[in-house]
Structure 1
Amino acid sequence: MNHHRTTIDRGIRRRTIAAAGMLALLAAGTTALPAAAQPAEPGSPERPLRASQSALLAEVRAATARFHDVEVALAEGYQSTHECASGPDGAMGIHFMNSDLVAPGAPVDPANPPILMYGPSPSGGLEFWGVEYFEPEVGQPVPMLGDRPFDGPMPGHDPHMPVHYDLHVWTGKHNPAGIYAPFNPSLAC
């Protein structure tokens, strides 16, 4: 996936959307709140997660703990995009996708994310940063991970990627911007 060009656009768009609830207003043509009026990102120190969402994230962490070893991800059918996505807001990392787990319109399986995010480790290898849930847009309602709606729909990041919804979840590395922020400002490619 070529995220570079659109990751900058997504970072800018991210700052102008007040919260996930504003997605419905944006779809209706309502103007987003200015960045200064935005509430904090859920999962950030300023806005902690609800207990039910915290329990779901603990489930995701436990189910994906094996992927701290990138060889396990490869053995389970994840394939690297080879490009480390980054932008002015930080990094997303190298995406490893398992296309067998992409199921548009199906219930989201927290234990089986279609995309894993890795980044360079201090030793020169790859370290697990988090997961990304991804669904092509096929007219379904906005997908949800527990009570958290996915971002989107958004255009594909390259000519081969469809209009889609996605949700980044920083389960391997702390993200000061929030657990669901697309970019992690404390990481770099």
Structure 2
Amino acid sequence: MNTRRTIVAAGLLAALAIGGTALPAAAAPDEQARPGRAAQSALLAEVRAATARFHDVEVAIAEGYQSTHECASSPAGGMGIHFINPALIAPGAPVDPTKPSVLMYGPSPSGGLELWGVEFFEPDVGQPRPVLGEQAFDGPMPGHDADMPVHYDLHVWIGKHNPAGIYTPFNPSVSC
């Protein structure tokens, strides 16, 4: 019996040794993917830090953001009340993650407004599809009303978790 245990133990040790040397090679693709995830996390942290002051809607208004007064929603979920800063809409300019042209607010439990997310908006002037980090904008798409041009946009849910995805326009867990 002792000999059999020794053989089984030796076999297990050999399997672990082989598995141990195989693990780093198997983990290599994941390691290669990490810089992209790390870069995305750093970019989202930059957007959050740059917009932290806008948790106070009065600060947003003082800095030139204007309310659309309507809370956008669809069967896919809510998007919120858009506060647009026209001075930050620069067609064809590089995307600045610290200066979103649109802030998205929704009702808070206390009855005020809370920052749900941001939107980067660029009218289509024939430029290549804009990107934020490595995330391509949606579009080009027609305007949502007669005054809105064909455009690209990218929603980033930095204040409210979106189970459909951080860059998905509508959030199924919020409503107006």
TM range (shorter): 0.7 to 0.9
* Aligned position for 1:7: none
What's the TM-score once normalised by structure 2's chain length? 0.79
CA distance in 2, matches of 1:133, 1:68: 17
Structure 1 portions without partners, runs of 5+ = 1-48
Q: How many residues align?
A: 141
- 3-state SS, counterpart of residue 133 of structure 1: strand
Unaligned runs of 5+ in 2: 1-35
Residue 100 (str. 1) matches residue 87 (str. 2): yes
Bigger helix fraction? 2
Instruction: Report the Cα distance in structure 2 between the residues aligned to 1:57 and 1:104, rounded to whole angstroms.
Output: 22
Say yes or no: does 1:50 pair with 2:28.
no
> Is the aligned partner of 1:177 residue 2:164?
yes
TM-score (normalised: structure 1) = 0.74
CA displacement 1:31-90 (0-9 Å, x = unmatched)? xxxxxxxxxxxxxxxxxx711111101000000000000000000000000000001011
Distance 1:123 1:68 in 2: 14
Deviations 1:159-187 (A, max 9, x none): 00000000000001111000000001000
Q: In structure 2, which of residues 141, 151, 165 is the aligned counterpart of residue 154 of structure 1?
A: 141
Query: AA paired with 1:185?
Result: P
Q: Distance in 1 between matches of 2:111 and 2:70?
A: 15
The residue aligned with 1:72 is 59
Larger RCO: Structure 1 or Structure 2 (Cα < 8 Å, ≥ 6 residues apart)?
1
Cα distance in structure 2, aligned partners of 1:180 and 1:121: 21
Q: Which position in structure 2 is the counterpart of 1:130?
A: 117
> Which of 80, 100, 106 matches 1:113?
100
Alpha-carbon distance in structure 2 between the residues aligned to 1:133 and 1:54: 17
* Greater Cα radius of gyration, structure 1 or 2: 2
| Root mean square deviation of aligned Cα | 0.7
State the match for 1:90 in structure 2.
77
Structure 1 vs Structure 2: percent identity of aligned residues?
A: 80
